[in-house]
């Protein structure tokens, strides 16, 4: 199996720094609302037979006045994929060994007028190495102003690196974050990318730089949207709309989300993997 590489350590350091700054910003929003809520962090260790250093991670969860439930996880793991699962992973068809590090965030908001959000970036090493990730906005009650601002921020981030990125990655998000059995998208989109391969140091540096900008863009744009909506009045009907929408969100994550499957197939911490599920949801 691959040893922890310098590239993996560098990517992990960035993901942990981003986690710390996001959590501090979300706690600051709670203070503005008069709440003392803070993140609770739970470390976990991965186990794999015959693997002396399988890695692990830290699950961070906050339940507050603005953020009804938000999870921010960072994990760094290595080992071997099960043979059948290895066939589905880039570069693991002939050698199932891998290492992976990443940050994953899902926020479910107390006020139905504040959009839920997902953000994830990751670095994987098999026989190949690559970055993937993205961010998408998931409002129970959409506002065109919020949607446009979110997309404009990521359009600008993409444009700094490649003029084709935004069109490609926003289309990929629309196709990926779709619930076929409902015939609906799970939200209003964003960007989704994968397999930005790092076959040399220059490619690694270039793709890490882009991945950093994805994280920085999220940290800039999402708190602004939260502050804009978090004091909005809402009705019981608004809350019912939110709970029904959360049911759709849960369906996507449990049935279609590749990150959920990856975590479960690689022996990740179940509570960390399923932290994306909302605290309350309804189905008709």
CB 193 within 8 A of CB 177: no
Instruction: Name residue, tokens 């969100």.
Output: 249
Among residues 113, 118, 151, 185, the one annotated as catalytic is 118
Q: Which of 46, 79, 82, 38 is nearest to 62 (CA)?
A: 38
Q: Answer left, alpha or beta for residue 16, where phi above 0 means left and psi between -120 and 50 means alpha.
A: alpha
Question: Known catalytic residue: 113?
Answer: no
Q: State the Rg of the chain over Cα.
A: 18
CB 162 within 8 A of CB 239: no
Write the secondary structure of 224-246 as one string of H (helix), E (strand) and C (coil): HHHHHHCCCCCCHHHHHHHHHHH
Query: Quick one: how far is CA 4 from the chain centroid?
Result: 23
> What residues are annotated to the active site?
118
């Amino acid at each position: 199996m691959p040893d922890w590489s310098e590239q993996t350590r560098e990517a992990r350091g960035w993901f942990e720094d981003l986690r710390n700054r996001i959590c501090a910003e979300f706690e600051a929003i709670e203070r503005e609302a008069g709440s003392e809520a803070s993140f609770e962090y739970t470390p976990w260790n991965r186990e794999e037979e015959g693997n002396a250093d399988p890695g692990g991670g830290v699950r961070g969860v906050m339940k507050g006045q603005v953020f009804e439930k938000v999870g921010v996880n960072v994990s760094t793991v290595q080992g071997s994929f099960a043979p059948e699962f290895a066939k589905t992973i880039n570069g693991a068809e002939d050698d199932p060994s891998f290492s992976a590090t990443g940050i994953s965030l899902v926020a479910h908001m107390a006020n139905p007028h504040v959009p839920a959000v997902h953000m994830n970036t990751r670095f994987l090493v098999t026989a190949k190495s690559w970055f993937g990730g993205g961010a998408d906005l998931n409002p129970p009650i959409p506002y065109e102003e919020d949607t446009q601002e979110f997309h404009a921020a990521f359009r600008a981030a993409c444009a700094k690196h490649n003029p084709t990125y935004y069109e490609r990655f926003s289309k990929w998000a629309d196709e990926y974050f779709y619930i076929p059995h409902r015939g609906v998208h799970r939200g209003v989109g964003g960007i989704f990318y994968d397999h930005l391969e790092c076959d040399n140091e220059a490619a690694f540096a270039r793709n890490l730089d882009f991945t950093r900008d994805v994280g920085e863009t999220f940290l800039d744009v999402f708190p602004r949207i939260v502050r804009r909506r978090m004091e909005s009045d809402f009705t019981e009907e608004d809350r019912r709309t939110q709970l029904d929408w959360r049911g759709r969100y849960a369906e996507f994550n449990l049935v279609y989300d590749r990150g959920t499957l990856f975590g479960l197939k690689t022996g990740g911490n179940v509570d960390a993997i399923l932290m994306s599920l909302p605290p309350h949801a309804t189905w008709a």
